[in-house]
Amino acid sequence: MVIIICLFIGLLSAMLGSIVGFGGGVILVPILLILHSATPLFDWANASTIVGISLIIMIFTALSSTYAYAKNKRIDYKSGLYFIAGSLPGGVLGAWLNQFVDTDVFSLFLGIFMLLIFTMFLFKKAPEQAKEDIDRKTSQSIVREVKIGDTVYRYSFSPFIAVAIAFTVGMLSGFFGIGGGSLMVPAMIIWFRFPPHIATATSMFMILALSIVSSGTHIALGHIEWMYVWAFVPGAWFGGILGAKINQQLSSKAVEYLLRTVVLLIGLRLIWQGLF
């Protein structure tokens, strides 16, 4: 029974995570925390175990999603490498810090964090920068240009700011086991003006590297329940591919509204669980 539930959770979380570029952990971790408090079948799912499992599952989710997005040429590899450079050391630090919190406190922290994610999505994306504005950027900025269909998008970012943000995102990812995309995607869209589909795909590329490093830290700390990991893997693999395909069919607004609803409801549920 537990194996079937894990398989379904892996499929659902990976599919939704791939659609929005979050990696699936933002769905998987809260669901396991809720099941931990609701049924004895998930007594094994404490904070450290859940995060360790989530990060390993995200390797498979991110790998399948990155492959699907790469075929459609949606990944900005150059920008992604800057984000990876900042996120990897942050991921190791966050994974190490996770062992010092208990499950109820972790639920409360994660619930508050998810409400912050929800708040970020209430901000309207800044208007597209004019070509002249981007051309006036200093030599310290990275200027990118991509073509999606018949539309050419131009955007830019400071590599120093990108690395600093990615370090923070990596630390939160290692601590919460949520992949980092939940902060990186809004940051890329709102602050750096990435096209939504490029931000989603590039985020999954970053999550692939980050989840490998962060999960390695949790393995070294002995946080992995391998018996349950393999129950999530098949669902995570196919969910990642399915989510990437669905992403191509949905509008950016549809993806955003779906995510807002899920993040808000789960965040409120976790805060309630952590307090009471």
pLDDT tens per residue across span 26-45: 778 888 888 888 888 888 88
| SS3 labels along 123-170 | CCCCCCCCHHHHHCCCCCCEEEEEEECCEEEEEEECHHHHHHHHHHHH
Q: Kindly state whether residue 62 falls inside one of the protein's structural domains.
A: yes
Q: Kindly state whether residue 209 falls inside one of the protein's structural domains.
A: yes
Q: Kindly state whether residue 210 falls inside one of the protein's structural domains.
A: yes
pLDDT for 132 beyond 70: no
pLDDT for 130 beyond 50: no
Residue 252: per-residue pLDDT: 64
Please answer whether residues 21 and 201 qualify as being in contact, where contact means their C-beta atoms are separated by less than 8 angstroms.
Answer: yes
Long-range contacts of 252-257 (CB under 8 A, 24+ apart): 252/196, 252/197, 255/19, 255/20, 255/196, 255/200, 256/20, 256/121
Q: Kindly state whether residue 94 falls inside one of the protein's structural domains.
A: yes
Residue 81: per-residue pLDDT: 92
For residues 244-263, average pLDDT: 76
φ and ψ of 115, to 5 deg:
-70, -35
Strand partners for 143:
156
Q: Kindly state whether residue 187 falls inside one of the protein's structural domains.
A: no
Q: Kindly state whether residue 220 falls inside one of the protein's structural domains.
A: yes
Please answer whether residues 53 and 136 qualify as being in contact, where contact means their C-beta atoms are separated by less than 8 angstroms.
Answer: no
The domain in which residue 270 lies consists of 2-126+163-181+197-275
pLDDT for 131 beyond 70: no
Please tell me the least confidently modeled range out of 59-63, 120-124, 169-173, 242-246: 120-124
Confidence class of residue 212 from pLDDT cuts 50, 70 and 90? confident
- Its pTM stands at 0.73
Q: Number of folded domains in the chain?
A: 1
For residues 229-234, average pLDDT: 86
Q: Kindly state whether residue 59 falls inside one of the protein's structural domains.
A: yes
Q: Kindly state whether residue 188 falls inside one of the protein's structural domains.
A: no
Confidence class of residue 124 from pLDDT cuts 50, 70 and 90? low
- Name the 3-class secondary structure at 264: helix
> What distance in Å separates the CA atoms of residue 121 and residue 27, rounded to the nearest whole number?
17
For residues 167-180, average pLDDT: 80
